Structure 1
């Protein structure tokens, strides 16, 4: 056993030199101190790097699940587009078209200064409605000769309304196709209503206003689509219920029977301006509308279209002003505070103030009539994969570039948001150094510094010896 241990000494890598054969120098002491300090500093730096994480970025073809939908969020104010006709449409390059989306869109009336109404609630769109029915063309061949059907003007409008407890006014334009369809029916219904409720009764009256001749009068009552049928009570087109003013508009069928039945239903509420008639829609009491909500779209090029639309109404393009303020327009889901900090830390180029919403609080003014505004968005997906993804989860961050312009169009003015998604996805991985790499580097630091310090010490020692010999030789 003793012999075995003696043989093991032969493979000792660290053979010892007797202490009486070594020589300590002041230079070596200073080098040892410097080497020790340098080892400590490099070790601390390496430990800090080991404890911290690094990121690596890759460009890959978009790995999103097939048929995954994308969420487009918006909050936009149109100071000159009435909530009565403001709609949101979506179309894409696959041929999908969805008109007048309502389930996820909320409308709030606003003033020209884009201030929300203090009175009244937001307009909640209902499901898509079928357009109003009309009497067959040519059903009324003879137009009745009734003085009351002579269009009202700004000179006698207020006096006529003040004269009757209830007045039903048809705001029309002679060029409008739907107005032309309604005209004979309106005349016939007017005659029957006035025969049924003569002047001595006077509880309800029908009248009409030509909006091409009385432009200011129609705009004063926020008429944007033709024909628009409004109900006026005691000279006012609103009723006061529960501390709120509510305007009334008739959106039902436009047949003679339907109009006469509507007049009959109004008569019991004559002289009762606080009584709301079931079936009447809320008419606009401000010229503008704020649209907020979201739409789900396929991940292919498409367009979100804000425009005035209604079945059974026509629009004068020169009256449409699509000036709008984009309060926000962002893609995908907003990150939680925790994920935002994660994204801010791991994003390859960091986050700017407008990283997710390049159109935030931007105003686009229609300087000419029939101006359409086009916003072209190029969307890029960045997926953040944290080191501890089991606890925090991955996060998809959508960013986009925006280019906007306006142009005059022959079609009805609108605001269009055309989006195009990049097929390239940016993957950002959070990684940390393995423990064996930390040990390897630590050993390299200690060994490397020790070796370099030994070489320097040897060079300095030999240099001093040579200089000393030279000096002794000169003295001898």
Structure 2
């Protein structure tokens, strides 16, 4: 910094004479201008959006409904996915149906094979028969029918799961050679196996609840030789007798270990329920996951997850259509299964309204109740991409005792569209505003600095006996 004697006389003294106060204000001014510059630069680089509301000019006559919903207490054999017109029960024709049904257990975990709706009838029997044939072809019938009494009996014993899958029902006696109870039970088990397998005649058949006759295969598993097989099954006592279904679920025999008692137990358990066992009735319940998309006319209507219409008659009092929505959205029919691909072209204010129901559960607490979802759908356009925001309102409907509850999604398409466009700042606008804010910051700091110096001079005038330093700080105790 030049002194006043070396600088041009027309320059203000504040520009040529250094002071502590001037240095502080200079640093502050630079910091403020740097912050203002960064804010302006971020604003210039960040995309800005503007919206325009106009009458809907849809380019397509079709609307795609994308859904992934768990219906907890309705089996896939009794679930239909249909779309009706807004008023009445006129079923809307679908130009494209691409969705699947898959069974879920009481915990919401999916299992089994996903099937098309038209294949849902007889899904369990057909799937099991095919699986059983594949496993038997892969491992061989003798391998699947053999006891696991020793690891050196000439069989491979590679997969107990395949053994279970290879039969309608498999009754397994988990034993240990050193167990006295197992030794006592062994002759009774041999008699039982000969009778059930029909060693002296035709094998026994056990009718299930649908009247289909099933065969049971009795197999022994030595938990000493096959500890790695028994441990995952949770076998902690010997002997343990379990009846397995082909899907891996099982029931445990806890009665007297006799031939007559076990046969009665087999008859009772096989007839009691064809699929899915557990310690509580809730474990027996099976639900259905419906996932996919439907392309329907672009008119108001309602999507219905309809309970009934399968190969069973539902009890209206016990029908529960509680459900969890994993995903629900609307999109252009041309988007297909890639309907989320274009969401990145829209700002967050839009994307958070494209699937607002995702992850929400709707559970009814009483009989004869069902959730009705009312959706207001607004088409939203950005460039060539069209998507749909929607607003949701749910209500619980109380139904007559004779009416079967249904989960319904009523959607109404608004007659206007929201057009979203980028409102980017041009480079010359950025330059103009940058100069303005930097100049404004400098002027403000300059005014504050001059005001501070003015206050310092006023204090010196009011207290002539006090010494005011170059920094403008008043020093008491030093007099001329």
* TM-score between both structures, scaled by the size of structure 1: 0.48
* TM-score between both structures, scaled by the size of structure 2: 0.48
